[in-house]
Amino acid sequence: MPHEVKGVVATGKGAPVAIQTVVVPDPGPGEALVSVQACGVCHTDLHYREGGIGDDFPYLLGHEAAGLVEAVGPDVTGLEPGDFVILNWRAVCGQCRACLRGRPWYCFATHNAAQKMTLTDGTPLAPALGIGAFADKTLVAAGQCTKVSPAIKPEVAGLLGCGVMAGLGAVLNTARVTRGDSVAVIGCGGVGDAAILGASLAGARKIIAVDIDDRKLNWARQFGATDTVNSASADPVEQIRALTDGNGADVVIEAVGRPETYTQAFYARDLAGTVVLVGVPNPQMRLDLPLLDVFGRGGTLKSSWYGDCLPARDFPMLVDLHLQGRLPLDKFVSETIALDSVEEAFAKMQRGEVLRSVVLL
Ligand SMILES: NC(=O)c1ccc[n+]([C@@H]2O[C@H](COP(=O)([O-])OP(=O)(O)OC[C@H]3O[C@@H](n4cnc5c(N)ncnc54)[C@H](O)[C@@H]3O)[C@@H](O)[C@H]2O)c1
Ligand SMILES: [Zn+2]
């Protein structure tokens, strides 16, 4: 029997989100019904609300979530009611071209379970990142549920489902930062700070945090930044070079998603260094770089989708590191809020007052 629950819906471009009743069907073959316990407010949710990702309104927002499996479809194995899971937006299929070539972190399989959720009048909802978890319950593909130790708090665990994984993975998996590297991170929100934490975990010797907000730079130090640059008042390229013996950083992580910050990242890296774009641009943005510089500076220009993670490999490992006290993921949780405060949380995010507001359900 379908369940009627409250969910946070974006109805049109730029319109404030509203709580609406969402109809969640019972799980069919290959699906799982999850009782959501916590879901973080990620900048990507705001991108959806602003029409920056697509025009498939109404969207059911929320995708950084953890919860308890409530029911599974008839053929589902390895997952049962009561399991504590982090939801992921990369349920590796094992069948697609990327998986068969041994590069499952590029798996492009889409999972349609969450698209079965509707408003009470039958209007289909487009679930953010195929999840839609600002709701008491959500329906996902069983592979989108990654079991982890229930010893971690749900509001902390959920963050591994998107932003924190994206930042950690951009450094650990995509850039493959290692002991002794210098790393600069442009944009120190939840994603950028996770990149800073990843660089610290990997043994980077210099970690330069760049943001336009001093409050963010202070927080960045708590995650392991050794130096900070306020790029509203100083040229970040010059500063990063000055902090790296005039060379530039081995790796620059762009965690804003704008042409000007990408250009800074491009020029702030050492010759033959690496740039990783993690920030998500909007469809109107264009990049203008001298092609000769792209050639002449060499190195590696990469994007990182979801930190090139493999949820089944990375989530349980990162949860274990957290439980051992080696990965202070709880520092990302600025506040816990109720489902009806997501719009306010977007405003706080835009004013730079929070790293992550997390909805508790
Ligand atoms: N690639 C992925 O898989 C992935 C996953 C999650 C989020 N994201 C994207 O990562 C980006 C960051 O997400 P977030 O949740 O950390 O957002 P956030 O809003 O919490 O943080 C953005 C930070 O960038 C700073 N900033 C803004 N303009 C700047 C500028 N010109 N120079 C320097 N700093 C600037 C802000 O002060 C803020 O601290 C977003 O674009 C989001 O969509 C990507
Ligand atoms: Zn996200």
Distance 44 CA to ligand 2 centre (A): 5
Rounded CA-CA distance 295/124 in Å is 47
Closest ligand relative to 128 C-alpha: 2
The tokens for 229 are: 């640059």
pLDDT of 120 over the 90 cut? yes
Rounded CA-CA distance 320/287 in Å is 40
Mean pLDDT of the region 274-282? 95
Distance 38 CA to ligand 1 centre (A): 21
Question: For ligand 1, what atom is nearest to the CA of residue 47?
Answer: 43
- The verdict on the CB of residue 256 being under 6 Å from ligand 1 is yes
DSSP 8-state symbol, 306: G
Tokens 């120190």 belong to residue: 188
Closest ligand relative to 190 C-alpha: 1
Which residues, in sequence order, are CB contacts of 38 under 8 Å at separation 6+?
65, 66, 67, 153, 154, 155, 157, 158, 336, 358, 359, 360, 361
Dihedral angle sign, alpha carbons of residues 261, 262, 265, 271: negative
pLDDT of 311 over the 90 cut? yes
Average pLDDT, the chain: 96
pLDDT tens digits along 182-204: 999 999 999 999 999 999 999 99
H/E stretch holding 227 reads strand 227-230
Report the nearest-CA residue for atom 43 of ligand 1.
Answer: 44
**pLDDT computed for residue 339 by the predictor:** 98
pLDDT of 1 over the 90 cut? no
Residues lying with their CB under 5 A of ligand 2, a single-atom ion: 42, 44, 162-163
Which residues, in sequence order, are CB contacts of 313 under 8 Å at separation 6+?
none
pTM given for the model: 0.94
Rounded CA-CA distance 14/282 in Å is 14
- The least confident of 61-65, 97-101, 107-111, 233-237 is 107-111
Distance 165 CA to ligand 2 centre (A): 9
Distance 1 CA to ligand 1 centre (A): 40
Distance 340 CA to ligand 1 centre (A): 23
Report the nearest-CA residue for atom 21 of ligand 1.
Answer: 189
Closest ligand relative to 65 C-alpha: 2
pLDDT tens digits along 256-276: 999 999 999 999 999 999 999
- What are the φ/ψ torsions at residue 151 (nearest 5 degrees)? -75, -20
Rounded CA-CA distance 238/280 in Å is 25
Question: For ligand 1, what atom is nearest to the CA of residue 190?
Answer: 16
- The verdict on the CB of residue 129 being under 6 Å from ligand 1 is no
Distance 308 CA to ligand 2 centre (A): 14
Question: For ligand 1, what atom is nearest to the CA of residue 305?
Answer: 3
Distance 42 CA to ligand 2 centre (A): 5
pLDDT tens digits along 143-189: 999 999 999 999 999 999 999 999 999 999 999 999 999 999 999 99
Closest ligand relative to 191 C-alpha: 1
Report the nearest-CA residue for atom 40 of ligand 1.
Answer: 279
Q: Contact, 37 vs 69, CB < 8 A?
A: no
pLDDT tens digits along 14-40: 999 999 999 999 999 999 999 999 999
Distances, alpha carbon 77 to alpha carbons 27, 173, 301, in Å: 13, 29, 40
pLDDT tens digits along 59-102: 999 999 999 999 999 999 999 999 999 999 999 999 999 999 99
Angle at the Cα of 311 from the Cα atoms of 306 and 316, rounded to 5 degrees: 125
**pLDDT computed for residue 110 by the predictor:** 87
Mean pLDDT of the region 279-291? 95
Tokens 């520092």 belong to residue: 331
Q: Contact, 359 vs 38, CB < 8 A?
A: yes
- The verdict on the CB of residue 308 being under 6 Å from ligand 1 is no
